[in-house]
Structure 1
């Protein structure tokens, strides 16, 4: 495991310059890449699959490069980092993040023929009320889809708990290091519940604290290990409930309960989605292009006075909601997805 200080140096002074260099190289040699991918398109199934993938990849690299330049300018403008934590600079970082997500999702939906839609009654933005957002975790890019919806549809400033591996994304790692967020890992000595609680504390009127209680994307292997873990902990009752859920992992309640305790004034927004569940790797993305898929999202707001206060009661409440989300996914899952 790389020491955090060394990892920071690699991300900032190696990966970021390499990403910018790669972007410039691709743009300057774009005619050659278009010719190559155009020829390759004749030999692979799917309409212009290599060209579509090239354009989405180039768009991502371009937005990352522009974001890095803007972030560097903000760093200079803040007095070389001195005032980066001030409210105005925080808002500017969220604006960069929102712009990236809006531009990328609009173009990706067009090129990949991907639709994102809400099933049932969409919640309003709940202005003036902080929110704790508990999300299902499955498929490629679900955390980015949730961020896009919260920032673009509902004008929220998210505080998000993410896996540490996402800090290696050059622009994302810089942006989220400068706004309230946590990259979590299971290093010895880390009190993850305490870190989550600190992040969820003192939410203001347009904040949304975002966490994925399952702790990882749904796979059959993770589902099996999750059930075995519950039995090892002596929670046979919860293991039995987890076995009854086919599309979600048993939630790990520690982080969610820490957020509930740290932000007693916040309501809870639960988010489920389905449509890209079976896409877990770059290979899956390649095989599915053009996707021509619908990412369906379900939203439920739970007022705080409807949430129990005792720890065991809250665990039961969370499992009850995950069972409801599992039923929702089963009801809305596209027929072509494997069961």
Structure 2
């Protein structure tokens, strides 16, 4: 159960500011403590100081974003005009600024590089690029995959992303405030697949030509246990063909088709974009970050676009089409996955 909105605004948001100030004041102490703790680990695992620097950078940027949100709230007549398009534009610009600075910090601190394999445009694609909305179907793996994806949609492709997220993410004050003021959805735990699908349908139905609805059909990060459980669930439902397709996937969980199909049905004019990426797959927990974070974090990614006219409308054909594209993502990851480089 999440705390009510007034508590999140009056307690959690100011708490971020306090933590940011405290972190900046005590930064030398934290660096010494973490460096001392890292001495007990072999050299490839001494990466704690970089995590501290990034945590401080994140808190500082969150504080700046929250102060900017407060300023926009005041200028909008203490929230009275926030629903107007001009204020939505300002919040998208602020999200773009925030993610751009987070990305820049990751480049400097972790040596992050994103190598994007951009496919050549198909005939007529350039003319459609910002004249049709898009539904983005991406794998879910590693920390920050949604951050990188939204950053590229805003900064590189000029899109305005809409995302369906778990309600628990509202505990992050800047995420709560910023995405709460643009088209997005936070789905409470226990709402079930129907609640998620309903939110996806709502967001897709209202898309403009420059919007992008981002969906992660797997519903979570890949683990062997989740994969086995997902296959059993498909078998128990009598979906033998889907279960066979899931068993052929090495790096992905089988997609939950309900959300993707709800978006396609609600916005039939949208093109569909599939996104594959690899590089941070092995970093899921804080322990993974402590023990496996490489000196230079490299993310390789690619995408392909399916014209709205080429998206199947028959449900059985749609299922096969989705699984075929999921298999294509899996094969691309197999060809491009690299183990994290050891730190010297």
TM-score w.r.t. the length of structure 1 is: 0.92
Name the counterpart of 2:65: 67
Question: CA shift at 1:77, angstroms?
Answer: 1.4
Name the counterpart of 1:309: 313
| TM-superposition CA deviations, 1:233-281 (whole Å, max 9, x none) | 2211111110111111110000000000111111011101001111111
Question: CA shift at 1:128, angstroms?
Answer: 2.2
CA RMSD of aligned residues (A): 2.1
Instruction: For 2:23 and 2:146, locate their aligned partners in 1 and report how far apart those are by CA, in whole Å.
Output: 27
Name the counterpart of 1:149: 152
Question: CA shift at 1:168, angstroms?
Answer: 1.4
Q: Of residues 98, 101, 105 in structure 2, which corresponds to 1:100? A: 98
Q: In 2, are the aligned partners of 1:134 and 1:269 still within 8 Å (CA)?
A: yes
Q: Of residues 33, 37, 52 in structure 1, which corresponds to 2:30? A: 33
Q: 1:188 to 1:109 in 2, by over 3 A?
A: closer
Q: 1:148 to 1:188 in 2, by over 3 A?
A: closer
Name the counterpart of 2:188: 185
Matches within 5 A, 1:131-280: 131-188=134-191, 191-280=195-284
Name the counterpart of 1:287: 291
Q: In 1, are the aligned partners of 2:234 and 2:240 still within 8 Å (CA)?
A: yes
Question: CA shift at 1:293, angstroms?
Answer: 2.7
Q: 1:324 to 1:174 in 2, by over 3 A?
A: same
| TM-superposition CA deviations, 1:65-114 (whole Å, max 9, x none) | 11111111111111121111111110111111111111111121221112
Alignment pair present for 1:17 and 2:20:
no
Name the counterpart of 2:86: 88
Instruction: For 1:34 and 1:214, locate their aligned partners in 2 and report how far apart those are by CA, in whole Å.
Output: 37
Q: Which moved more, 1:183-192 or 1:74-83?
A: 183-192
Which secondary structure does the structure 2 equivalent of 1:309 belong to?
coil
TM-score w.r.t. the length of structure 2 is: 0.91
Name the counterpart of 1:128: 131
Instruction: For 2:269 and 2:70, locate their aligned partners in 1 and report how far apart those are by CA, in whole Å.
Output: 36
Question: CA shift at 1:46, angstroms?
Answer: 4.3
Q: In 2, are the aligned partners of 1:84 and 1:178 still within 8 Å (CA)?
A: yes
Question: CA shift at 1:35, angstroms?
Answer: 4.1
Flag structure 2 segments of 5+ consecutive residues without an equivalent: none
Name the counterpart of 1:110: 108
Q: Of residues 311, 333, 338 in structure 2, which corresponds to 1:334? A: 338
Question: CA shift at 1:219, angstroms?
Answer: 1.1
Question: CA shift at 1:48, angstroms?
Answer: 6.4
Q: In 2, are the aligned partners of 1:122 and 1:299 still within 8 Å (CA)?
A: no
Q: In 2, are the aligned partners of 1:113 and 1:292 still within 8 Å (CA)?
A: yes
Instruction: For 1:185 and 1:152, locate their aligned partners in 2 and report how far apart those are by CA, in whole Å.
Output: 30
Which secondary structure does the structure 2 equivalent of 1:191 belong to?
helix
Q: 1:127 to 1:56 in 2, by over 3 A?
A: same
Aligned length: 334
Flag structure 1 segments of 5+ consecutive residues without an equivalent: none
Instruction: For 2:171 and 2:98, locate their aligned partners in 1 and report how far apart those are by CA, in whole Å.
Output: 17
Question: CA shift at 1:12, angstroms?
Answer: 2.1
Instruction: For 1:139 and 1:281, locate their aligned partners in 2 and report how far apart those are by CA, in whole Å.
Output: 9
Question: CA shift at 1:191, angstroms?
Answer: 3.2
